[in-house]
Amino acid sequence: MTIETMSQCSKCRHFIEHKGDEPGCAAFPDGIPMPIGRNEHDHTKPYPGDNDIQFEQWVPEAQREEKQEP
């Protein structure tokens, strides 16, 4: 049995589905490095070349609006 782990990238607000052949993001527009995509590096911490952009949890717009109301 093979168990696949979902990449941290798919839950990040900076993720871009696909740009060309490789998935990208605001930190890595030309392709996400394998250590990040394979969860070998926790991208809440800096990674070389990430343009000072790290993982931020994606929150649906409706939930963001709910949190902002007093």
pLDDT tens by residue, 39-65: 999 999 999 999 999 999 998 876 766
pLDDT of residue 46: 98
CA 38, 41, 42, 43: dihedral to nearest 10 degrees? -90
User: Phi first, then psi: what are they for 24, rounded to 5°?
Assistant: -135, -175
Burial of 50 (0-12, 13-18, 19+ CB in 10 A): buried
User: Phi first, then psi: what are they for 30, rounded to 5°?
Assistant: -95, 5
Q: Which residue has better confidence, 66 or 29?
A: 29
